[in-house]
Structure 1
Amino acid sequence: MGSADVVPGVSGGTVALVLGIYRHLIAALGRCVDVATTALRFDGKGIVGALKNVPWIWIVSLIGGILLAVFLLAAPLERALATYPEQMAGLFTGFIVGACLLCWRQLQRSDVRHIALAAVWAVAFFFLLGISPAAQTGGQAPELWVYFVTGAIAICAMILPGISGSFLLVLMGVYAHVIGAVSQRDFLVLGVFALGCVVGLSLAAKGLSWLLTHHHDAVVASMIGLMIGSIRILWPWPHGLESTEMALPAADTWLMPTLLAVLGLVLVLGIDAVARRVGDDH
C-alpha cells in the first residue's frame, strides 16, 4: 500500500482489495475514529473499551510497512521527477487514465446525469488548475499550513479504491514538495503533514462511508471528472508536473512519455484484474 500511495493514480485502497484486507482496513479505521470521538467526550470508561477494540498489532504492522515503502521510494522518485519530468508525467498520466476506467466500472448505474456530473467536474477542475499552487509557486515550497490542509484532504483517498492520495497531492500542486520533504527527512514539514492526515482521516472516515453508501454514483462520477480535469497538470509537455502549461510534443520528445503512459495504464488495469480475481476467489 505504501508503494502505491507514493505513485499518483494507484490507490492504496485498491491494493488493499488485491491483498484481501480492504474490509478489515475499513473496520479498523472506524474503530480508531471511535477512540477519538470517545476521547473528545472525556468518557474514561468508554475510551478503555474503544482502545481494546482496536487491532493495534495489525494497524501498527500495516503503518510500519506503508512508511517503510514511502521512505524507500521517495528519494528515487524525487530524482526521477527532476531528471525526467516529461517521462514521469507520461507515466503518471497513464496511471490516471487507468484510475478513471476503474472508477467508471464502480458506477452502479451510468446514466446521463452521472456523465454530465463528471463532465462538469472535469471542466471546472481543468480551469481551476490554471490558478492552482502548482501554477503559482514557481517551484517554491508552500507555507506549513498548506501541508496540513493537503494532508487532511489527501489521506481521504486511502479508503477510496480508484483514487490515490498522491494523485490529490499532484492535483493540489504539492506532490514534488512532499516527496522532497520525505527524501530530505524534513521532519517539521512531515510532522505538520502527518497531523493533517490524522485530522482529515478522523473527520472523513465516517463521512466518506456515509456518502458512498447513500450517494455512491454521484461521488464516483465526481472523482472521475476530477481525474479527467487533472490532465492539465499531468500533461507531459513541455515541463511535466512543474507547471500547468500545455503544448504539443516535439518530434523527438513524444515517444518515451507516450510509451510510459501506456505502461502506466497497463499496470493499473493489471492491479484491477488481480483484485477482481481475488474477489472472485473469495
Structure 2
Amino acid sequence: MATVSLFRARLVLFLKGMAMGVADSVPGVSGGTIAVISGIYEALIDALKQCHPLALKTLWQQGPRAFWQQIHGAFLFTLLAGTLLSLVLMANTVLYLLETYFVLVMAFFMGLVLASCFLLRADAGRWTLFKGLLFGIGFMLTALTAILNPMAGSTALVYIFFSGMIAICAMILPGISGAFILLLLGVYEYVLGALRSFQLEVILVFALGCVIGLLSFAHLLSWTFRYYREQSYAFLIGMLAASLIVLWPWRDASVPAADAGTLVAALLCAAAGFGLILAFSRWARA
C-alpha cells in the first residue's frame, strides 16, 4: 500500500511538472502560477534553497544518499522531469497554436489567470492597506513588461546563458512569464527552436543559466515566504492580475478586430481555462 501511495504521489508530482512546462512555454503565462495553485510552490522554493555549494559537504562526509535527501532530490527530479518532457513535447504544438489560434489561446490563458487570482486570494489572509499596497506594486511591476518592446536579441551563447538566468527568475514567479521575458530579450523563438531540433549546445548553455539563476533567486523567495507569507501572496496576486494586460490579445495592433463569433469563442475559451484551473486545483490538493 505504501508503495502504491508513493507511486501515486510521484505521478501526481510529475503531472504537475508537465503542467508547469506547458505554462512556461507560452508567453504571458508562468509555471510559478501552476506551482502555486497546485500547492507545491513553497515546497519547491524550500527544496531549491537546499541546492547550494555547501550541500557538497554532505555528499563528501555522509554520502550520496544523505546528499540526495538534503536537496530533496526525488521531489526536484520528478518535477523537473515532467517540466522538461512537457517543454520538449509542447514546442511544436505551442508554436502552431499561437500562429493559428492566437486570440483563443490568449483568452484561454486569461481564464487560467482569473481563476488563479480567485483561488489565491485566501492565501493572503485578511486584506489590509499594506497588503493592498503590495498588490499594487506587484501589479505595476508586471504591467511595466507589457509596454516594453522586444529587443533584437542575439544567438551568442553568452547572451543565451544570461537570458536563461533572467527568464528562470520570472518563470518561478506567478504573473511574470519566463517565455514573455525571452520574447522581450529577443530569443524566444531561437530557444524554442533549439528545443524542437535538439541543438544540444544551446540547450545546455541555456539550462546552465537557468540553474544558476534559479538557485540564487530561491534563497530570496524562501526568506520572504518564511517571514512574510501573507504579504508575499498579496504581492504575487498583484503580479498575476497584471498579466491579464500582457495576455490581452488585441493589445497588438497586428491582431484584427474581433467579430461576434470570435468574441463568443474567446469567452468560451476563457471559461474553459477558468474551469480547468478550478478542477486542477481541487484534484492537485486532494
Task: Report the Cα offset of residue 176 of structure 1.
Answer: 4.9
Equivalence for 1:160: none
Partner of 2:204: 191
Q: 1:164, 1:118 → 2: CA distance? A: 12
Q: Which amino acid aligns with 1:234?
A: L
CA distance in 1, matches of 2:131, 2:37: 26
Query: 1:159-216: per-residue Cα shift (whole Å, max 9, x none)?
Result: xxxx377x34336636953444422334344223311221122212332121111112
Partner AA of 2:90 in structure 1: L
The alpha carbon displacement at 1:126 in A equals 2.2
CA drift of 1:82 comes to 1.4
* Counterpart code for 1:271: F
TM-superposition CA deviations, 1:20-74 (whole Å, max 9, x none) = x7787566434433xx2355xxx5x764437432145664444333322221122
The answer to whether residue 51 in structure 2 is matched with residue 32 in structure 1 is yes
Map of 1:52 onto structure 2: 65
Which stretch of the first structure deviates more once superposed, 52-61 or 190-199? Answer: 52-61
SS of 2:54's equivalent in the other structure is: helix
Alignment match of 1:173 (pick from 173, 183, 186): 183
2:260 aligned counterpart, secondary structure: coil
CA contact (8 A) 1:171 1:233 kept: no
Equivalent residues of 1:155, 1:200 under 8 A apart: no
SS in 2 for 1:253: helix
Structure 1 residues 264-279: aligned runs within 5 Å: 264-276=273-285, 278=286
Matched to 1:263, the amino acid is: A
Matched, 1:63 2:77: no
Could you tell me how far apart the structure 2 residues matched to 1:31 and 1:270 are? 32
Asked if structure 1 preserves the Cα contact closer than 8 Å seen for 2:111 and 2:274, the reply is yes
Number of aligned residue pairs: 255
Is residue 91 from structure 1 mapped to residue 108 from structure 2 by the alignment? yes
**Could you list the runs of 5+ residues in structure 1 that have no partner in the other structure?**
158-162
* 1:206 counterpart = 2:228: no
Is 1:2 paired with 2:17?
yes
Residue in structure 1 matched with residue 168 of structure 2 by the alignment: 152
Match for 1:52: what amino acid? R
1:105 is aligned to: 122
Q: Which residue of 1 aligns with 2:139?
A: 122
Quickly say closer, same or farther: Cα 1:219–1:273, change in 2 above 3 A: same
- The 1:186/1:257 distance shift into structure 2, 3 A limit, reads farther
The 1-side partners of 2:44 and 2:242 are apart by 30
Deviation at 1:268, TM superposition (A): 0.9
CA distance in structure 2 between the partners assigned to 1:214 and 1:188 by the alignment: 40
- TM-score (structure 1 length as normaliser): 0.73
Q: Write the distance in 2 (CA, Å) between the matches of 1:258 and 1:72.
A: 27
CA RMSD of aligned residues (A): 3.5
Alpha-carbon distance in 2 for matches of 1:257, 1:103: 24
Contact persistence 1:97–1:265 (CA under 8 A): yes
What percent of counterpart residues are identical? 24
Alignment of 1:223-242 (within 5 A): 223-237=236-250, 239=252
Q: 1:222 to 1:246 in 2, by over 3 A?
A: farther
Instruction: Give me the whole-angstrom Cα distance separating, in 2, the residues matched to 1:112 and 1:248.
Output: 39
Match of 1:73 among 90, 101, 115: 90
- Identify the match of residue 262 of structure 2 among 246, 253, 269: 253
Q: Say if 1:70 and 1:124 are closer, same or farther in 2 by CA, change over 3 A.
A: closer
Q: CA deviation at 1:91?
A: 1.0
Gapped runs of 5+ residues in structure 2?
A: 1-15, 24-28
